[in-house]
């Protein structure tokens, strides 16, 4: 098994989609703060156990990117088209406020 580093690369917003599709109770809040407020760009999470949700990590985003995390912690690569082995780019599935993560395989855990 390998250690894993998760870095928040970019928080995005789709205000046009929020305005058109978000329900009334959510639309105003999302338009005032369109980017995800749970993360900050450049924020890092270090994992020694790829099956444990890191403290402060969004459970929804975790569910979306856990496949890459588990594969990379076992030494695999799910994205062979990237320039560097041991790196994956993944994102949460929030269509209004997606967050893009870089997942990196670190040193082996003995």
For the stretch 38-87, pLDDT in tens is 999 999 999 999 889 999 999 999 999 999 999 999 998 877 788 888 99
Of 24, 35, 28, 27, which is closest to residue 98 (Cα–Cα)? Answer: 35
Q: How many CA atoms lie within 13 A of 75 on its CB side?
A: 3
Of 9, 15, 1, 26, which is closest to residue 65 (Cα–Cα)? Answer: 9
> How high is the mean pLDDT of the chain?
90
pTM (predicted TM-score): 0.89
92: confidence class by pLDDT, cuts 50, 70, 90: very high
- Per the listing, tokens 């893009």 go with 100
Domain containing 104 equals: 2-108
Confidence at residue 89, expressed as pLDDT on a 0 to 100 scale? 95
What is the count of structural domains for the chain? 1
Confidence at residue 107, expressed as pLDDT on a 0 to 100 scale? 92
24: confidence class by pLDDT, cuts 50, 70, 90: confident
């Amino acid at each position: 098994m390998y250690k894993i580093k998760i870095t928040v690369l970019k928080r995005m917003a789709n205000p046009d989609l929020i305005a058109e599709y978000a329900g009334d109770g959510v639309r105003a809040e999302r338009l005032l703060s369109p980017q995800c407020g749970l993360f900050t760009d450049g924020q890092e999470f270090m994992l020694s156990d790829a099956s444990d949700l890191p403290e402060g990590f969004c459970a929804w985003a975790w569910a979306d990117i856990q496949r890459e995390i588990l594969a990379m912690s076992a030494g695999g690569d799910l994205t062979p088209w990237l320039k560097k082995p041991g790196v994956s780019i993944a994102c949460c599935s929030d269509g209004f406020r997606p967050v893009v993560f870089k997942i990196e395989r670190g040193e082996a855990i003995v």
